[in-house]
Amino acid sequence: MSEAKKYNAPVTNPETAPFWEAAKAGKFMIKRCTTCGEAHYFPRAICPFCFSDKTVWEESSGEAVVYTYSLMRKSPTGPYAIAYVTLKEGPSLQTNIVDCDLEKVKIGQKVKVVWKPTDGAPLPFFTPA
Amino acid sequence: MTIKGKAYIAGIYEHPTRHAPDKSTAQLHAEVAKGAIEDAGLTKDDVDGYFCAGDAPGGLWPMVDYLGLNTKKLRHVDSTETGGCSYLIHLGHAAEAIAAGKCSVALVTLAGKPRTGPMPARASGAEADFELAYGATTHNAYGMCAMRHMHDYGTTSEQLAWIKVAASHHAQYNPHAMLKEVVTVEDVLNSPMISDPLHRMDCCVVTDGGGAMIVTTPEIAKSLKKPLVRLIGHGEAMKGPRGGKDLDLTYSAGVWSGPRAFEEAGVTPKDIKYASIYDSFTITVLMQLEDLGFCKKGEGGKFVADGNLISGVGKLPFNTDGGGLCSNHPVNRGGMTKILEAVRQLRGEAHPKVQVKNCDLAIAHGTGGLLGVRHAASTCILERA
């Protein structure tokens, strides 16, 4: 395991600030549209599916399965596993699988959200459940 | 309205350099512009349309000024930026502009120097806070596509390797190719793993250089001396995770751009004699061949195996210049060179060892951006007139 990687703080903006505020409290938020019922990620003010502005924040379980991944063997900060994971609530999102043996990451593997600190709000990552 | 047959590619030029530390990027644009204009038998003052993308220093107005284009005549410009497939989209847009009477001689240029030094980072969109930290690169974004394709369809590294093997068979005849050595499936599998499951030889080269083309009206093309090559179908499309619903990385926007182009052209994949398919990575080719309908989804592995893409050997000769995998990938953008080799094939100007016999119908297709994240695709069907 390499030393804790340094991550840049999210810039945030008025549309996404509630996500980062919740992140500081350890809550992983997604958006759900109350018109079409679909959840989405990353959060938008207007639903990317039905274009309704009736979207609301919802706390995700943070439980997901690995949809796909790729282990980058070399980088200035060492190897890392980029992945898409699919949340229990439906949306898939880009992340890194962390705090585990990267050689053992598998498609279909159960993972859960973990937070990594920055100088601002923490960032969500996923680790084997 | 259709652009079918309304625009001809009258001039092409590919810069022979693969490493140009002694030249400026703007200079490379000028050199390829000069090459394409001269290949067409035209002059700079004939140009009344100009197209460039994100690789052009400063964008449109600095380039128009630097090149010294005749601004009294220049009446149509387009800086559509869709990464590596920008130039395929430029070809389609040039045809639209020509069909609409907005210009008659369009110049499209691409050039840059990623081998000499790193390229500037691309601007990010609304997703920045939610994705930048995870380090998506071309290698691992395409790696994620390959990983899922293997999971869903049983595609193997051996099958992917055949794509590189075919490209290397063609590159041996290209004196300008960066990698001229013929490689085997074993060579590819034994090359270092870069980002699972992609090996070093699954990845394209990084080269300086560029290319340009002249797109013009049927009347002007017929007044010139080059064999006639025309655009008969064009498609463009975009794809991204779109809120994370129903994510499927095993197909690309080519599933939409391809049918649009084939429908406009009135031909099918079976009719195609030669295919230029963007080969940023081996998986890019495999997915595009499926998405364009050369084989069924999931059967790309079988389709590319056993030399099926080698000219004179297989059923679908592809990237006979050696492609991005072996010859050239100027500015990390492969769309232009895809068009240039398709035109050479249709003109009968490809190397005799790889020239497809009676090559009267070709496809040039590419993607831009990151296949595993957000990308565009563009398909051009070209015909010898």
pLDDT tens-place values along chain A, 129 residues long: 445 789 999 999 999 999 999 999 999 999 999 999 999 999 999 999 999 999 999 999 999 999 999 999 999 999 999 999 999 999 999 999 999 999 999 999 999 999 999 999 999 999 999
pLDDT tens, position by position, B351-379? 999 999 999 999 999 999 999 999 999 99
So what's the pLDDT on residue B363? 98
Burial class (CB in 10 A: 0-12, 13-18, 19+), B104: buried
Which of A94, A103, A114 is most worth mutating to test chain B (most B CB atoms within 10 A of its CB)? A94
So what's the pLDDT on residue A21? 98
Nearest CA in chain B to A103: B196
In whole angstroms, what is the distance from residue B130 CA to residue B232 CA? 41
Contact A49 B245 (CB under 8 A): yes
Name the residue among B136, B143, B242 with its Cβ closest to that of A94. B136
Contact A83 B144 (CB under 8 A): yes
Contact A48 B194 (CB under 8 A): no
Contact A11 B130 (CB under 8 A): no
Task: Name every residue whose Cβ is closer than 8 Å to that of residue A79 and which is 6 or more positions away in sequence.
Answer: A2, A71, A72, A73, A102
Share of chain B above pLDDT 90, in %: 98
In whole angstroms, what is the distance from residue B113 CA to residue B323 CA? 18
CB B204 within 8 A of CB B194: no
Lookup: tokens for A79: 């190897």
So what's the pLDDT on residue A3? 58
pLDDT tens, position by position, B138-165? 999 999 999 999 999 999 999 999 999 9
So what's the pLDDT on residue B120? 77
In whole angstroms, what is the distance from residue B35 CA to residue B32 CA? 5
Nearest CA in chain B to A32: B243
So what's the pLDDT on residue A1? 45
pLDDT tens, position by position, B340-354? 999 999 999 999 999
So what's the pLDDT on residue B122? 76
Contact B249 A67 (CB under 8 A): yes
Taking residues B326-336, what's their average pLDDT? 97
pLDDT tens, position by position, B251-275? 999 999 999 999 999 999 999 999 9
Average of per-residue pLDDT values in chain B? 97
pLDDT tens, position by position, A40-68? 999 999 999 999 999 999 999 999 999 99
Nearest CA in chain A to B131: A94
Average of per-residue pLDDT values in chain A? 96
Which of A82, A88, A97 is most worth mutating to test chain B (most B CB atoms within 10 A of its CB)? A82
Q: Which of A82, A125, A124, A88 is nearest to A105 (CA)?
A: A82
pLDDT tens, position by position, B160-217? 999 999 999 999 999 999 999 999 999 999 999 999 999 999 999 999 999 999 999 9
Rounded to two decimals, the ipTM of the complex is 0.93
So what's the pLDDT on residue B126? 93
Share of chain B above pLDDT 70, in %: 100
pLDDT tens, position by position, B118-133? 887 777 899 999 999 9
pLDDT over 90 (residue B278)? yes
Q: How far is CA B96 from CA A106, B213, B217, in A?
A: 47, 16, 11
Contact A44 B126 (CB under 8 A): yes
Strand partners, A80: A72
pLDDT over 70 (residue B235)? yes
Contact B147 A107 (CB under 8 A): yes
Taking residues B311-325, what's their average pLDDT? 98
User: A–B: how many Cβ contacts below 8 A?
Assistant: 116
So what's the pLDDT on residue A4? 73
